[in-house]
């Protein structure tokens, strides 16, 4: 019997072909990396405990890899992140092993962490894991600064319901994909 393939397999193949051929210019990569650092620092500033933990790791370099994307972060004395120099030696490498962007999105909607290969310092890996587990972006608070508390709360509540429905849908679809167990 032929196993049905995912409807996203075509899109995964397309993303792989296009991604391997089209490489953005270095200045675009640099700008995107700086924007990512600014966003991460914004989120970190909302959690004082996270900043305290990063202060203790100042000067240590963590390399993040996914497909053709590589970024090196260094912890600053202020308890924030900065881009590490390209020639800096990383003490910890975190490589996301899920190649498919749709697989990552599916895992995120289920509330799962993506599969990651970890190489390097165990204590630094534990600190990064703590940050991943405990630091969350307070979207409602940021939105309230722009449009006010009540509209921000309404939008956040509605978005939360949409995310919950998507998680339920993805969870149900994931259960159907596994199928019943065969006879033993």
What tens digit of pLDDT does each residue of 143-173 get?
Answer: 788 888 888 788 888 887 887 777 677 666 5
Phi, psi of 117 (to 5 degrees): -90, 125
* Model pLDDT for residues 58-97, shown as the tens digit of each residue: 999 999 998 888 999 999 999 999 999 989 999 999 999 9
Residue 90: Cβ within 10 Å count: 21
Please state, in angstroms and rounded to a whole number, the distance separating the CA atoms of residues 31 and 48.
27
Residue 128: Cβ within 10 Å count: 22
HSE (CB half, 13 Å, CA atoms) of 146? 6
- Predicted TM-score (pTM) of this structure: 0.69
Can you read off the two tokens belonging to residue 83?
């881009």
Could you say which DSSP state residue 56 is in?
Answer: T
């Amino acid at each position: 019997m032929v196993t049905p393939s995912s409807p996203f397999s075509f899109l995964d193949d397309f993303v792989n072909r296009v991604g391997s051929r089209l490489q953005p210019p270095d200045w675009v990569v640099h700008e995107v990396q700086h924007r990512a650092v600014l966003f991460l620092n914004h989120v970190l500033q909302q959690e004082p405990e996270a900043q305290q933990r990063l202060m203790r790791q100042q000067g240590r370099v963590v390399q993040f890899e996914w497909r053709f994307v590589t970024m090196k972060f260094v912890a600053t004395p202020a308890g924030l992140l900065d881009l590490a120099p390209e020639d800096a030696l990383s003490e910890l490498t975190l490589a996301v092993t899920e190649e498919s962007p749709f697989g990552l999105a599916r895992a995120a909607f289920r509330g799962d962490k993506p599969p990651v290969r970890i190489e390097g310092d165990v204590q630094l890996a534990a600190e990064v894991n703590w940050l991943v587990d405990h630091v969350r972006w307070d979207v409602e608070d940021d939105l309230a600064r722009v449009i006010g508390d009540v509209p921000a709360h309404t939008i956040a509540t509605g978005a939360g319901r949409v995310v919950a429905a998507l998680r339920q849908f993805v969870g149900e679809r994931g259960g159907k994909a596994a199928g019943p167990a065969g006879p033993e």
